[in-house]
Amino acid sequence: MATPTGQRRGRPPRISRAEILAVARRIVDEEGVDRLTMRRLAKDVGSTPMALYHHVRDKDELLVLLLDEYAARALRRPELPADPRERVVAAAAAIREALAGQEWVAQVLTADDLMARSALWFTEQIVDGLVECGLTPERAVHGYRAIWYYTAGELLVRAASARRRAGDDRATYRERVFADLDPEELPRLAAVGDRWARLTAEDTYLDGLRALVDGLVG
Amino acid sequence: MATPTGQRRGRPPRISRAEILAVARRIVDEEGVDRLTMRRLAKDVGSTPMALYHHVRDKDELLVLLLDEYAARALRRPELPADPRERVVAAAAAIREALAGQEWVAQVLTADDLMARSALWFTEQIVDGLVECGLTPERAVHGYRAIWYYTAGELLVRAASARRRAGDDRATYRERVFADLDPEELPRLAAVGDRWARLTAEDTYLDGLRALVDGLVG
DNA sequence: ACCTGAACACCGTTCAAGT
DNA sequence: ACCTGAACACCGTTCAAGT
């Protein structure tokens, strides 16, 4: 709060929300989101845990702010195709592109959902593209929602398997299950057998997205 | 380990893995997965935290076991339609039906993925249905994968919004954003405006699933 | 073989006080 | 207004010892 003369009152701030977020981002990037604790963050900022609570409400808000800021930076608006169906595909793919690979994003994502004003432009493109394909505005919103479910699911499931690969040992469990399936009971899976791991590791996001969009626009 | 005469050696067990899982399940059902801690669980089992580590490797394994057991119980195999496309839809819907509403499942799901032998029958039905629709086995597996992304995404995103509704206050944030959108910049979203919350709260899982399956089988 | 007690190395957050 | 210190009420897991 400023006084009528423009002076600030009380003790001047030593740390800012922006500084807190920058340091948090560095910890997350270098050591993973699990290592981001309020105590550790305070230490790296050169302050105390409780000082942080003057700038963010709690740890949850910190994570959401982190995601919003990342989205604002990473979601550069691309040139989109003129064809409405291709525009929908390209907008969804751009969101996924920006969020994939950032392992920590998936873990925060479940705490927020379509995040930040910065993502709304993409939402607009998708809804608009679907309307131009002939859907009513209501069905276009539902279509956007389906696309978001698919995209978020891909991000979350893939992040989970990446984490599991890091922790080993359960990957071999799945391989064991698929290696000795009963071909009587589960013939298709038994036939795929050892190719399962390779097949599900392939990046088929775009194929699935196109199928979904094709199905949505009829 | 049994001796050649069938006797067990060493101190007889006081608690079993089955008992641990049953108590864990009760805690999760009654108070939520966040309240399930090794210490709390030990207390309810009438033992000590470290005794648990003789029956499960760590907390992660406990959660996966819990999910596997729940899936085995909840995934009753339904009568499936003869038409292959409808069979794919029905099998996916059955998985989703069993897992939806169980709020804790979503939080564990990101730590596992297609869970347990008990789910493989459904996977088989989906892959088989897609093959009968004319897809190659490889494309059928990719198709299954897309359906799983969509289904897991729906479960996780909806569970996240349910949690947020419980915690309030940020729901109003989204409403505020949507209430004063710039109609110049985001005309479609501005037009939907206050109907956004209602529209995205609707259960349109089946519509999206059908669209995806339609798109997959061409 | 199975269980216990004590300890290690942490958490997020509140409260009361200081400048 | 902003920050600090001490404390509260917890965590998961390891280690050494007991029966």
- Tell me the per-residue pLDDT of B77-114, one tens digit each, with 9 for 90 and over: 999 999 999 999 999 999 999 999 888 998 788 655 55
Nearest-by-Cβ selection for B215 from A107, A159, A212: A212
**pLDDT (0 to 100) of residue A3:** 43
Q: How far is the CA of B154 from the C1' of D3 (A)?
A: 44
Place of tokens 């009568």: B79
Does A121 contact B196 at a Cβ distance shorter than 8 Å? no
Q: What are B2's strand-pairing partners?
A: B8
Contact B189 A146 (CB under 8 A): no
Percent helix, percent strand, percent coil in chain A, to nearest 5: 70, 0, 30
Where do the CATH 1.10.357.10 domains begin and end in chain B? 77-217
Six token digits for residue A144: 């956007």
The rounded Cα A208 to chain-centroid distance in angstroms is: 18
- Find the angle CA(A183)-CA(A189)-CA(A192) to the nearest 5 degrees: 105
pLDDT the model gives residue A1: 40
- Measured distance CA(B178)–CA(B183) in Å, rounded: 11
| Closest C-alpha among B45, B48, B42 to residue B19 | B45
The pLDDT value recorded for residue A7 is 57
- The answer to whether the beta carbons of residues B92 and B145 sit under 8 Å apart is no
Model pLDDT for residues A57-86, shown as the tens digit of each residue = 999 999 989 999 999 899 999 999 999 999
Report the pLDDT value the prediction gives residue A179, as an integer from 0 to 100. 77
For domain A77-217, the CATH architecture is: Orthogonal Bundle (1.10)
Q: Which fold has domain A17-72?
A: Arc Repressor Mutant, subunit A (1.10.10)
Nucleotide nearest the Cα atom of B55 (by C1'):
C2
- Please report residues contacting nucleic strand C, using a CB cutoff of 7 A: A 11, 36-40, 49-50, 53, 58-60; B 1, 9-15, 47-51, 54-55
CA angle A106–A111–A115, rounded 5-degree value: 80
Q: Which residues of chain B have pLDDT under 70?
A: 1-9, 110-116, 167-173
Domain with CATH 1.10.10.60 in chain B: 17-72
Residue of A146, A185, A212 with shortest CB distance to B204? A146
What is the predicted pLDDT for the residue at B9? 63
pLDDT at site B3 = 43
Q: For chain A, which ranges sit under pLDDT 70?
A: 1-9, 110-116, 167-173
